[in-house]
Amino acid sequence: MRVLIAEDQVLLRDGLTRMLSVYGFEVATATPDGTRLAEEIINARPDVAVLDVRLPPTFTDEGIRAALAARRAVPGLPILILSQYVERLYARELLADRAGAIGYLLKDRVGEVRQFVDAIRTVADGGTVMDPDVVAQLLRGPDTLGALTSRERDVLRLMAEGHSNGAIAERLVITEKSVSNVINTMFGKLGLPPDAHHHRRVLAVLSYLDHR
């Protein structure tokens, strides 16, 4: 699996390159700069591109702009964004097309090596990966959950924290089947049909952000 890395911090960039090589990935490109990043991604056509949001020369939004441009040119091109902070606007914009093959993780997750590697593979396979801390902060906006029942809001918040159906059932003292029923009802309200890559747990949160 070929990976493109765009990260300006040399220690993190080299660390990612070494780590991914150990796990059998081929790092096709590791660049510290965002000036021509979109073009590099489009030309390289990696199995997944791992990008920092803020890159030289301006350290503002080079990474996310390159990701959006690359996916416009190559729909569905797998992108995993790494960020030091929760960038609410960027997370929403990147996931707006709902095409999958997208991830958004905080850089702290890189230290959880196996989970990070699994996230890369999930994105490369067309899945959606969102950092629980990012989703939890996205949920804090006003009036995002007004159409859901209190039970559905409770389940959605626990989903945002990364809990499985079984863990949610334990927290709410209900059966796992009840949790599944609540989630399916919620998906129906949000117009999220079944999908092959199980994006819906993320999209259930993000759809409300689109209608705040």
Render pLDDT for 87-131 as a digit per residue (tens, 0 to 9): 777 777 776 666 788 888 999 888 889 989 999 999 999 888 888
Among the residues of the chain, which ranges form H helices?
A: 10-22, 37-44, 62-73, 88-95, 113-124, 132-138, 150-160, 165-172, 176-190, 200-209
The C-alpha atoms of residue 24 and residue 155 are separated, in whole angstroms, by 37
State if pTM tops 0.85: no
How confident is residue 161, by pLDDT bands cut at 50, 70 and 90? low
Residue with tokens 């803020």: 54
How confident is residue 37, by pLDDT bands cut at 50, 70 and 90? very high
How confident is residue 184, by pLDDT bands cut at 50, 70 and 90? confident
Which domains are delineated in the chain? 2-130 (3.40.50.2300), 139-209 (1.10.10.10)
Phi, psi of 50 (to 5 degrees): -105, 115
Q: Please, which residues have CB within 8 angstroms of residue 116's CB and are 6 or more apart in sequence?
A: 105, 109, 110
Short-list 133, 89, 123, CA closest to 199: 123
**Upper half-sphere CA count for residue 211 (Cβ side, 13 Å):** 11
User: DSSP code of 111?
Assistant: G
What are the b/e assignments for 48-66, b being 16+ CB within 10 Å?
bbbbbbbbeeeeebbbbbb
162 torsion bin: left (phi>0), alpha (psi -120 to 50), beta (else): left
How confident is residue 136, by pLDDT bands cut at 50, 70 and 90? low
* Angle, CA of 36, 41 and 47, to the nearest 5°: 165
Residue 12's CB: how many other CB atoms inside 10 A?
15
The C-alpha atoms of residue 55 and residue 118 are separated, in whole angstroms, by 25
The C-alpha atoms of residue 160 and residue 140 are separated, in whole angstroms, by 11
How confident is residue 139, by pLDDT bands cut at 50, 70 and 90? low
The answer to whether the beta carbons of residues 49 and 19 sit under 8 Å apart is no
pLDDT of residue 194: 60
The answer to whether the beta carbons of residues 176 and 111 sit under 8 Å apart is no
Q: What is the mean pLDDT of the segment spanning 15-33?
A: 95
pLDDT of residue 25: 97
